[in-house]
Each structure stands twice: as C-alpha cells, then as structure tokens.
Amino acid sequence: MLIKSNEDLLILLDHLLREPQNFWNDFYDDTCKNIPFFVNKPDENLVNYFEKEMIFPGRVLELGCGAGRNAIYLAKKGCSVVGVDISDKALEWAKKRTDEENIDVELVCANIFESDFEENSFDFIYDSGCFHHIAPHRRVNYTAMIDKLLKPEGYFALCSFEENGAYGGSTMTDEEVYLKRSLEGGLGYTKSQLQEIFHFLEEIEIRKMLPMSTVDPHFGLEGFIVGLFQKKLGERQMENFEVVLSEYNSNWKEQF
C-alpha cells in the first residue's frame, strides 16, 4: 500500500490492529454462547439516566449496538434510535429482537468511521463496549465524530473497560499497542483518562458500573467504567442563545 494521505495511514493501521468484520460475525454467530452481554437487558447506567431525568427522549445514535439490547430500551423510552454495528450477524439478531417486541429501530451495518450522518443530528449518542476497541490512532476521529454529530447541549455516554477489569481492560500505553500490534482484547481506561479524552464535553458523571445479578432487570458488570457528558455551547452559539433569550424577555415584559 502506497501511503499518500493521512487517511491512507489510518487505514493501514486499522488493518494492523482492528478485528475484521468476520471476527465479529463469528462472535455473534452462536447466540447461545455464555457471553454476559448477550442478555436482552439494558445497561444499568442507561436506565439510571432516564429514571433520574438526566437525559430525555430524542434522536439517538448507538455506536456498536450489537444485538440491540440498549437500542430496544431506548426505543421503548420514546427515542428515535439508529443503531450502527460492523457485524451483520449482530444486526440480524437485533432485527429479530426488535421484530419480536414490535420495536422500530433503524439498524445500519457499517464501520462507525464510514457512516454518513448529518452534522448536529443527534440528541444523545451512546456507546456500550465499542470505545475500548478503538485503537489510539482512531481516538481523534472518534471524538471528532461525537462533536460533529451531537447537537448543541446534546448528551454522550459510554460504558467501557476500566483498567485491569474482570473481563478486559489492558493497561498498555499507546506506544505499546503498536509495538505489540494488539489491543489485548480491549483497552482499559481510568476516570482521569476519560476526562482528558472527552475534555471538549462537560462531565456530568464518571463512575464504576454497578454489578447486577442474573435476576436483575438491568445489566451491569464489575470492571467497567461509565460516563455521561454534555456538549458545551460554542461561543457563537452562546451569543445567539443570549440574543434569543433577551428578545424573549423583552417581548414578555411588553405583554405584561
């Protein structure tokens, strides 16, 4: 491969590190495997956001939606949901689940970096288990995508491996990733690292995921870290907001 652009370089590094589509299709091919997140239950943190009215129904993008367990919950809460995953096998399972529950979710089979959504088109973006499979060279693309697709004052949340978690969470440095040519099953993150990576968003909370039992209606495991953030208004957007608010106050005073 002759590298002629930054994108060429990113694609080359993708081939060195990223699990191919066939890997994920094989992973989702046997739906009876004893995989914790194969259950049809939403993440406990996602449920908590809605129950405590930290977020509200709107247009939602789920990155790496898998078999649709969180997308189904979001749709039931009144959201218009788009679920993206690289595995068509996972989406076949998600489609079966949504059909069984008569739930409408738009399912898109694509690499998240190749999807073509309009700027500022989502009120909420959710990622449960995709981010820790993102290689360091794609981290900038990932955060730029979140910033581009999220509406002003929209929300972003994720559930990711924490360092040395029970199910994954490599503590390798970014340099070691390329020296070993491996993500070792998924990168682990600390609270301070998530704060640094998503510094362009306002932090609402970052905490450990709460473990749930098999009889609980929600999903939660030890060794995961969850975070909720909100997109800040830019300076120009803030100025426009203040102008609109000033005009509203003036009209209100004239009426009364």
More confident residue, 14 or 73: 73
Listed residue (66, 78, 131, 140) closest to 103, CA to CA: 78
251 pLDDT band, cuts 50/70/90, is low
Judging by beta carbons within 10 Å of its beta carbon (0-12, 13-18, 19+), is residue 139 exposed, middle or buried? middle
Please report the sign of the dihedral spanned by the C-alpha atoms of residue 155, residue 161, residue 164, residue 165.
Answer: positive
Distance of CA 170 to the CA centre of its chain: 19
Instruction: Confirm whether 58 is domain-assigned.
Output: yes
Mean local confidence (pLDDT), 212-240 = 85
The yes-or-no verdict on residue 162 having pLDDT over 90 is yes
Predicted TM-score of the model (pTM): 0.89
Listed residue (73, 50, 48, 43) closest to 160, CA to CA: 43
139 pLDDT band, cuts 50/70/90, is very high
The yes-or-no verdict on residue 166 having pLDDT over 60 is yes
The yes-or-no verdict on residue 145 having pLDDT over 80 is yes
The yes-or-no verdict on residue 206 having pLDDT over 90 is yes
Distance of CA 35 to the CA centre of its chain: 20
Please give the full DSSP string across 87-132, using - where no structure is assigned. -HHHHHHHHHHHHHTT---EEEES-GGG--PPTT-EEEEEEESSGG
Domains of the chain: total:
1
- CA 153, CA 238: separation in Å to the nearest integer? 11
- CA 62, CA 123: separation in Å to the nearest integer? 11
- Three-state DSSP state, 240: helix
Mean local confidence (pLDDT), 16-34 = 84
Instruction: Confirm whether 1 is domain-assigned.
Output: no
The yes-or-no verdict on residue 236 having pLDDT over 50 is no
CATH of residue 117's domain is 3.40.50.150
19 pLDDT band, cuts 50/70/90, is confident
Instruction: Confirm whether 216 is domain-assigned.
Output: yes
Task: Residue 40: give the domain boundaries.
Answer: 6-255
- CA 14, CA 106: separation in Å to the nearest integer? 26
Instruction: Confirm whether 136 is domain-assigned.
Output: yes
Mean local confidence (pLDDT), 238-251 = 51
- Output the pLDDT for position 15: 87
- CA 8, CA 40: separation in Å to the nearest integer? 38
Instruction: Confirm whether 24 is domain-assigned.
Output: yes
- CA 225, CA 219: separation in Å to the nearest integer? 13
Instruction: Confirm whether 197 is domain-assigned.
Output: yes
**For strand 150-161 and strand 80-85, is the pairing parallel, antiparallel, or unpaired?**
unpaired
Compute the mean pLDDT over every residue in the chain, rounded to the nearest whole number: 91
